């Protein structure tokens, strides 16, 4: 991955040799060449060992992640890498953004995150770059990311902590645990109190309202939505809706035209992005399209299980039940 100018950090330098060796095959020349090669090998090996040497053991504590693993985390975390935009947002929210030494190319909020060293994208992080940054912990958003590189990181005494929220309560727990990792438990607690108050205010306003059948469109082509194992169902429910795909087993299923047509939603919510600004054509005759119940919510806000998810909840509730927010 090509990093932005000024952000690259190099931990060893490739050497280029100028000129030519003598073509003479004398023992003295052969010895000189061999000595030079051995010196270069030694220099390279020393640099490589310095870059990838495991960090020294430090006092740790155990914190359970969302896989049920008891993760040993340093008592004082000063260097961390985030492999997901929502975790970057949470770290900044609890006051630990200045301790992030690496983030993904998708981590764009808050604006300060754009200045942090990039380690690749969420799916294909650069492990060598991560190790070179010498983090004490790497924050991961889903279990699917963990298998390929956990052993490499743990061999360097780098903890890997996984969050995988499937409900609003799980999101609160993620905020609490990230706060605990960085020693910011009180700040995390206060954030959750404020978020829960806002959620409760929304729920109180739409308590007596009828549930609206909602289809949440993640992608127009191919047509992708949300299924059972996601936090979106809880989000829609708390906003006064009922996801028409909440019983679909896959987390982010791709639907056939026939399946989608049969859903017949009363409202369609678009995770608003450049390629997802209109409903799929299969919904042209749905009640949602006929009654103009097509709503757009910024994809970054609605798709990231972080504090701004409550912004999405409030917006969704007002779209589904405008009469309750006059």
> What are the pLDDT digits (tens) for 38-92?
333 343 334 333 333 345 567 899 999 999 999 999 999 999 999 999 999 999 9
Same domain, 69 and 158: yes
Residues 185 and 267 reside in one and the same domain: no
Say if residue 150 is in the same domain as residue 255: no
Domain containing 144: what range? Answer: 60-189
Per-residue pLDDT tens over the stretch 187-246: 999 999 999 999 999 999 999 999 999 999 999 999 999 999 899 999 999 999 999 999
| Total structural domains within the chain | 2
Residue 173 clears pLDDT 50, i.e. is over it: yes
Final residue of a structural domain among 138, 156, 189: 189
Q: Determine, yes or no, domain membership for 8.
A: no
Coil, helix or strand at residue 32 = helix
Q: φ and ψ at 242, to 5 degrees?
A: -140, 115
User: In the chain, what are the helix, strand and coil shares in percent, each to the nearest 5?
Assistant: 40, 15, 45
Q: What is the pLDDT, as a whole number, of residue 229?
A: 85
> 124 and 77 share a domain?
yes
201 located within any domain: no
Confidence (pLDDT) at 132:
96
Domain membership flag for residue 167: yes
- At 270-280, the pLDDT tens digits run 999 999 999 99
Per DSSP, the residues of 112-172 read: GGGGSPB-B-SSSB-HHHHHHT--SEEEES-GGGTTTTHHHHHTTT-EEEE----SHHHHH
**Domain assignment present for 36:** no
Note the pTM of the prediction, 2 decimals.
Answer: 0.81
Residue pair 245/236 in contact by the 8 Å Cβ criterion: no
Whole-number average pLDDT of the chain: 84
Q: How would residue 152 be classed by pLDDT, with cut points 50, 70 and 90?
A: confident
Residue 196, class by beta-carbon neighbours within 10 Å (0-12 exposed, 13-18 middle, 19+ buried)? middle
User: Same domain for 65 and 184?
Assistant: yes
Q: Round to whole Å and give the CA distance between 130 and 140.
A: 13
């Amino acid at each position: 991955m090509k990093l932005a100018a000024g952000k690259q950090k190099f931990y060893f330098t490739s050497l280029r040799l100028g000129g030519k060796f003598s073509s003479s095959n004398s023992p003295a020349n052969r010895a000189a060449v061999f000595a030079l090669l051995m010196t270069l090998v030694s220099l390279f090996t020393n640099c490589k060992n310095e870059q990838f040497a495991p960090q020294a053991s430090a006092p740790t504590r155990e914190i359970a992640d969302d896989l049920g693993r008891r993760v040993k985390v340093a008592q004082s975390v000063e260097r961390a890498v985030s492999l997901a935009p929502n975790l970057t947002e949470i770290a900044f929210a609890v006051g630990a953004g200045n301790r992030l030494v690496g983030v993904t190319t998708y981590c764009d909020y808050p604006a300060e995150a754009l200045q942090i060293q990039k380690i690749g994208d969420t799916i294909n992080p650069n492990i060598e770059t991560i190790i070179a940054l010498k983090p004490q912990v790497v924050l991961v958003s889903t279990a699917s990311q963990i298998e390929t590189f956990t052993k490499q990181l743990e061999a360097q005494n780098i903890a890997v902590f996984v969050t995988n929220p499937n409900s609003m309560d799980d999101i609160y727990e993620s905020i609490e645990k990230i706060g605990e990792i960085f020693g910011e438990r009180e700040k995390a607690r206060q954030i959750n109190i404020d978020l829960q108050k806002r959620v409760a205010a929304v729920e109180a306003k739409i308590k007596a309202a009828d549930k609206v059948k909602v289809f949440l469109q993640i992608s127009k082509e191919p047509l992708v939505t949300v299924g059972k194992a996601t936090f979106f169902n809880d989000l829609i429910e708390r906003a006064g809706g009922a996801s028409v795909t909440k019983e679909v087993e896959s987390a982010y299923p791709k639907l056939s035209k026939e399946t989608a047509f049969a859903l017949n939603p009363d409202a369609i919510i678009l995770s608003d992005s450049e390629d997802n600004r209109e409903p799929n054509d299969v919904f042209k005759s749905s009640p949602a399209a006929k009654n103009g119940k097509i709503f757009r919510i910024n994809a970054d806000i609605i798709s990231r299980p972080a504090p701004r998810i409550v912004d999405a909840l409030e917006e969704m509730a007002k779209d589904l039940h405008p009469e309750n927010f006059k």
